[in-house]
Amino acid sequence: MANKAPKSARKIRNLVIILGDQLDEQSAVFDDFDKQQDAVWMAEVEDETTHVKCHQLRIAIFLSAMRHFRDLLIQQEFSVHYHELKTDRRHDSGFSHADVLGDFVEQHSIERLVIVQPGDYRVLENFRQAAAQLGIELQIRPDRHFYASLEDFQSYADGKKSFLLETFYRHMRKRHRILVDENGDPEGGQLNFDHDNRKPFGKYGPGKLPARPDFAPDQISRDVIAMVGKRFHDHPGSLEDFNHPVTRIQAQKLLHHFVKHGLELFGPFEDAMWSGEPFLYHSLLSLPLNLKLISPQECLLAAINAYQQGQADLPSVEGFTRQILGWREFIRGIYWLKMPDYATLNALDQQYSLPDFYWTGKTSMACVQDAMQNVIRHGYTHHIQRLMVLGNLAQTLGAHPLDFHQWHMAMYLDAIDWVSLPNALGMSQYGDGGIVGTKPYCSTGNYIHKMSNYCKSCSYNYKEKTGENACPLSTFYWDFLDRNYETLKDNPRMGFAIKNLERLQKDDQAITGIRERAQELRTQWGVTTLKSGWRDDSKPL
């Protein structure tokens, strides 16, 4: 047996572990950092690109942001130990974080591992197991990036049998005194302006849209793009649109651009869709927020300042605030409150696979085709395309909720497990049976017709339920309600839909036609029943 290399002479007191979604200079891991005694450890590893078969652009953005953060720390005279992925897999020393960390520990004398709470339960458990096997203490510090700590949310949740976003949002607004007066009453006399923020564009579309900020790749990013293009060439997606912030300065530029050019019209049109327009007035801040390049506090302060200076209306600012202070904090709290069992939930016992076009975008459904082209090229669609196009179709055809979550994790740049799982499995697929959302979010093609121009160019007719020309969303909507009638009939928010279904069920020919057409579509699309309940490997291309 070959002798192991001797451990380094320098003893490391705290080996500070920084993950790809923890690129925060104000992180708790730096609280007592001593540059004479401590060191930073960062690693690019194969497992984090293949546990779901990640979009090429997602891999490239994460690795570029990590390398830029590494160089920033080195400039600030931190001791940084960094493991890079190479184009040739034979040159890598390990498959997982645990492999690379184990090799490093063998060569160094380390007293303690320090890490901020990861955003993925799987990653947290992997580090716990690795530390135990190595016989080194692992200190897990709180993630201060959020308004509510995990302890805060646990305290809020204690004694509650159910959770409502609106109640939590009200709690957060008052607690942090955001858009409230000295008495705690909401700015403008109401807490929620959602009814003002559901407008379609109309038949002429959005008109001239603000230009997207330019984040052209520098040499670090170009090197990453070249490596990813060769090493991960068989992964889904495209590297064409590498135009996202990978540094804090760029993230701040994106925030400034949104507040100046997008915020005013973000609110009224946040649910609208338009063919060929992937970004519209949306901020695109979810990616840098989830990488921790910018904080939610900065984002809300900038938006509120714009309102106070008369540069943005209250409904838009409140809608933006609700997404960050309400929804983002709420689902993070639910994730850590309910994991690990949350990932196993499948309240409607849905067992189908996703169609291949969730990876290729090759479909004649105009709304799905446009949304999937955005996913493939940009690793992005806004929340209505995720929820009411791609999520709606997956749910109503009967896709397994965890399968949908794994697809979402693979294909979206901003997907971290804490945010993706409650959104995809819970909100989108109703896999949690109502923990996150009180009803399934599903609709016929009529909703798409109202909120977009897709139906005008589509070969399907959103008004029809059966037949070759029927919109699949309309067919699957009624099939979904029919299949899940017993589960959904007593849901108070589904009363109107259930009454319509019951009228339809009295017509044997109509309901039989819907059931048969739904199964025809599944067969045409190559949808299969998942033998193991959910797929634990990546969808082959």
pLDDT tens readout for residues 175-201: 999 999 888 889 999 888 988 888 999
Q: What is the mean pLDDT of residues 90-95?
A: 75
Q: Is the pLDDT of residue 5 over 70?
A: no
What span, in angstroms and rounded, lies between the C-alpha atoms of 433 and 440?
8
Relative to beta strand 109-116, strand 80-83 is: unpaired
Determine the average pLDDT of the residues in 52-56.
97
Mean pLDDT confidence for 70-80: 98
**Mean pLDDT over residues 146-159, rounded?**
96
The percent of residues above 90 in pLDDT, for the chain, comes to: 91
pLDDT of res. 532: 45
Q: Is the pLDDT of residue 536 over 50?
A: no
Phi, psi of 68 (to 5 degrees): -65, -40
Q: How far apart are alpha carbons 247 and 305 in whole angstroms?
A: 24
Bond preceding residue 340 cis, omega within 30 of 0: yes
User: Tell me, what's the pLDDT at 3?
Assistant: 43
**One-letter amino acid for residue 189 of the chain:** G
pLDDT higher than threshold 60 for residue 377:
yes
Q: Which residues contact 297 (CB under 8 A, 6 or more apart)?
A: 147
Q: Is the pLDDT of residue 49 over 50?
A: yes
pLDDT band at 2 (very low <50, low <70, confident <90, very high): very low
**List of residues 6+ apart from 451 with CB closer than 8 A:** 200, 271, 272, 273, 384, 388
- The single-letter code of the amino acid at 165 is L
